[in-house]
Amino acid sequence: MRNLEVSLGERSYPILIGQGLLDDASLLLPALKTKRAVIVTNEVVAPLYLAQLSSALRAAGVEVAEVILPDGEAHKDWPTLNRIFDALLGGRAERSTTLIALGGGVIGDMTGFAAATYQRGVPFIQIPTTLLSQVDSSVGGKTAINHPLGKNMIGAFYQPRRVLADIATLDTLPDRELSAGLAEVIKYGLIRDPQFFDWLEANIERLRARDAEALSFAVERSCRNKAEVVAIDETEQGERAKLNLGHTFGHAIETGLGYGVWLHGEAVAAGTLMAAELSRSLGDLSAAQFARIEDLHQRAGLPVFGPALGAQRYLELMRHDKKVADGHLRLILLEGIGQATIRGDVGETAIAAAIEARSR
Amino acid sequence: MRNLEVSLGERSYPILIGQGLLDDASLLLPALKTKRAVIVTNEVVAPLYLAQLSSALRAAGVEVAEVILPDGEAHKDWPTLNRIFDALLGGRAERSTTLIALGGGVIGDMTGFAAATYQRGVPFIQIPTTLLSQVDSSVGGKTAINHPLGKNMIGAFYQPRRVLADIATLDTLPDRELSAGLAEVIKYGLIRDPQFFDWLEANIERLRARDAEALSFAVERSCRNKAEVVAIDETEQGERAKLNLGHTFGHAIETGLGYGVWLHGEAVAAGTLMAAELSRSLGDLSAAQFARIEDLHQRAGLPVFGPALGAQRYLELMRHDKKVADGHLRLILLEGIGQATIRGDVGETAIAAAIEARSR
């Protein structure tokens, strides 16, 4: 088992990464305030892993309740969140009751936001079961639900007390979701870890074949990158924004098509190619570097073009994104592989051209 | 103008108390991150004070948007909160846009929760216009909405950047609401400030007659007490719980009757008498002390008996309250005037008897 620390003073917490961690309640007990827990999961994950986790906890003397939500980004909304609150209030969950998110990014984001706001905050544990949530969304304390006018618009920064990434849960992940997770893995290489990008170029097929050792390495390296960035800039005043490479374009794709039509990672991949295209057009990225980025995404099974919504529609949706300051779009662009930069000065004509070049 | 500080490290903020502060935009400008603000108020307060505040800000070059919500505790819910989000997203409010709550406790709690969660947190200013919100809810960062199964069940600790208590706004407050505010004023005397309790016994009629000097003194003294408690225990791990004297009983009254039938302060008054009755039955409060408490509440125009819901119904509602730990009701009781204590060991038979004695 690998053990990383997210360093945030008194809110620091460990990320445990390994095979078959779900059965081992002793990994969770130190993070429980009292022996009461509510596991939140979805209809897809529940039949696979819920019984395993619940029995391990119950055998350790923990009183466990379960909430099973519908699956998918389309349900990351208030009515679904409210089902968690109904269950907590119906079951008389207390301020000391721990919420456990068992599932992908949607479950983690919603459970985290429920934990942040139920009785103004209760303890919370992340057990991510998808590659995307293991390498990205479970770490760093961003929680949220969507609003019809924008993704993740209502949320909170709220850190979990522990993250448990069980690589064994990736065995049941559909290929498409595995690829979607690789988009966020590649991102770390692109924004700050060129050696990792090189490693990914050499090992992308092993990852897609679910080689356990390769997956463990990629999850740990990704989490290490994320933890370092979050420790520097927890609430995204600066450095943390670089983690949003491809996300402003990507959110426009997700919102424009309707939540859940494209997976988040797929939208991020196409968005990253748009950001790379824009970086190339600004002279910050060479054609050879661009080609490496496109090639790795393709080999990861990811889309390298966005849907043809029209550049104006993209821009309109992007202006609703959170990455806007004083009316200017703030974009994460690349100045090479392993080097990201935050730019608020790029004209909309150039942005529109990059969108057109990378959508079809 | 009086100026108090709530000491919370980098989240410290001033409380400004005085006459006619609404017209003076210079009091607000230091708390704005950019020159964009959204004022949230309700249908009752808007015709009285909204134009005054908006024009002062606009004259100072601030771009101002306005959101006017329906009035009352019955609207402190998700659909009404969502009207704030709709307005923020429709108006493209950014992470740096400041939300300003102009109104009573309901407006402050909802605007604060919107500020805590819109884009995971935007700047926020409190301008309380009722006595209750000036002396209590606007200070200390508790924000929330209600859930059908419990009051303030969904919320966050989120501090404002500034509180502006304009005593002049109390001139238009209905008598019933003025009295409701006095319940929280009396509370500070009861839990930690016996000299203030004595002063209230001597000056309660001046307060009800809206003597400006008396009101200013009472607001400042109350805020000072609140600020001291919040600085010691921001997230209510211990000491801050004493501010909930009468509130667990009171919330049962509010939820049991339906939100808005009794004003919050009225329910707190009746709840405080229940807590006092229980303290007397446990031998911690003398009959003479009890009589002073009852007398002062009566002179303040407040109810000293709760509605006859039946003790079992009270207890059932109280078990849903946030003040429950490991299945035990935690109550704030009195050990004299100016001395509160947190008790988790009182049997339900004694609690039920006190409820029955103080409801009719």
Q: Which residues of A touch B94 (CB under 8 A)?
A: 324-327
Q: Give tens-digit pLDDT for B222-243.
A: 999 999 999 999 988 889 999 9
Is B244 noted as a catalytic residue in this protein?
yes
B128 pLDDT above the threshold of 70: yes
Q: Which residue in A315, A323, A317, A320 sits closest to A347, CA to CA?
A: A315
Residue ending a domain, among B110, B145, B172, is: B172
Q: Are residues B112 and B219 in the same domain?
A: no
Q: Give tens-digit pLDDT for A13-60.
A: 999 999 999 999 999 999 999 999 999 999 999 999 999 999 999 999
CATH of the domain at A323: 1.20.1090.10
Is residue B271 a contact partner of residue B306, using CB atoms and an 8 Å limit?
yes
Residues 6+ away with beta carbon under 8 Å from B189: B196, B197, B198, B199, B200, B337, B338
Residue ending a domain, among A128, A151, A172, is: A172
Average pLDDT taken over every residue of chain A: 95
CA distance A141 to chain B (A): 11
Q: How many CB atoms lie within 10 A of CB A349?
A: 8
Is A205 at the interface with chain B, CB within 8 A?
Answer: no
Q: How many CB atoms lie within 10 A of CB A3?
A: 10
Q: Which residue in A233, A120, A155, A111 sits closest to B159, CA to CA?
A: A120
Domain count, chain A: 2
- Closest to B156 (Cβ–Cβ): which among A86, A117, A324? A117
- Mean pLDDT for A98-114 is 97
A61: left (phi over 0), alpha (psi -120 to 50) or beta: left
Q: Are residues A263 and A164 in the same domain?
A: no
Helix, strand, or coil here: A289?
Answer: helix
Q: Are residues A182 and A92 in the same domain?
A: no
pLDDT attached to residue B323:
66
Q: Are residues A216 and A72 in the same domain?
A: no
Q: Give tens-digit pLDDT for A303-350.
A: 999 999 999 999 999 987 766 666 678 999 999 999 999 999 999 999
Place of tokens 């884009």: B119
Q: Give tens-digit pLDDT for B24-73.
A: 999 999 999 999 999 999 999 999 999 999 999 999 999 999 999 999 88
pLDDT attached to residue B325:
64
Q: Are residues A181 and A168 in the same domain?
A: no
Q: Is B153–A324 a contact, with Cβ atoms under 8 angstroms apart? A: no
Backbone angles phi, psi at B97, to 5 degrees: -70, 135
Residue ending a domain, among B151, B172, B193, is: B172
Measure the CA–CA gap between B266 and B50, rounded to whole angstroms. 27
Substitution target from A32, A109, A117, A240 for chain B, most B beta carbons within 10 A: A117
Backbone angles phi, psi at B154, to 5 degrees: -120, 115
pLDDT attached to residue B310:
97
Helix, strand, or coil here: A77?
Answer: coil
Place of tokens 């424009």: A256
**For A95, which residue in chain B has the nearest alpha carbon?**
B322
CATH of the domain at B84: 3.40.50.1970
Q: Are residues A212 and A339 in the same domain?
A: yes
Measure the CA–CA gap between B69 and B325, rounded to whole angstroms. 35
Q: Are residues A61 and A204 in the same domain?
A: no
Which listed residue (B73, B75, B76, B142) is catalytic? B142
- Closest to B120 (Cβ–Cβ): which among A92, A95, A156? A156
Q: Are residues A121 and A238 in the same domain?
A: no
Q: How many CB atoms lie within 10 A of CB B70?
A: 12
Q: How many CB atoms lie within 10 A of CB A155?
A: 24
Measured between alpha carbons, how far is residue B302 from residues A131, A334, B293 in Å? 59, 65, 11
Q: Which residue in A6, A169, A4, A144 sits closest to A78, CA to CA?
A: A144
Helix, strand, or coil here: B99?
Answer: strand
Triad A323, A328, A333: Cα angle to 5°: 60
B59 burial (CB, 10 Å; 0-12 / 13-18 / 19+) is exposed
Which residues face A118 on adjacent strands?
B154
Q: What is the DSSP letter of B118?
A: B
Structure tokens at A207: 């990852």
Q: How many CB atoms lie within 10 A of CB B63?
A: 13
Measure the CA–CA gap between A254 and A18, rounded to whole angstroms. 32
Q: Are residues B198 and B159 in the same domain?
A: no
How does strand B63-69 pair with strand B36-42?
Answer: parallel
Structure tokens at A254: 């997700």
pLDDT attached to residue A326:
64
Domain that holds residue B344: 175-357
Sequence-ordered alpha helix ranges (H) in chain A:
51-59, 78-90, 105-117, 131-132, 175-192, 194-208, 212-232, 247-257, 264-281, 287-299, 311-319, 348-357
pLDDT attached to residue B259:
77
Q: Are residues B235 and B343 in the same domain?
A: yes
Q: Are residues A257 and A147 in the same domain?
A: no
Is B156 at the interface with chain A, CB within 8 A?
Answer: yes
Q: Which residue in B325, B57, B6, B154 sits closest to A36, CA to CA?
A: B325
Q: Which residue in B302, B311, B298, B307 sits closest to B352, CA to CA?
A: B311
Higher pLDDT, B10 or B107: B107
Substitution target from A11, A120, A230 for chain B, most B beta carbons within 10 A: A120
Q: Are residues A261 and A324 in the same domain?
A: yes
pLDDT attached to residue A148:
86
Structure tokens at A330: 């703030």
Residues belonging to chain A: 360
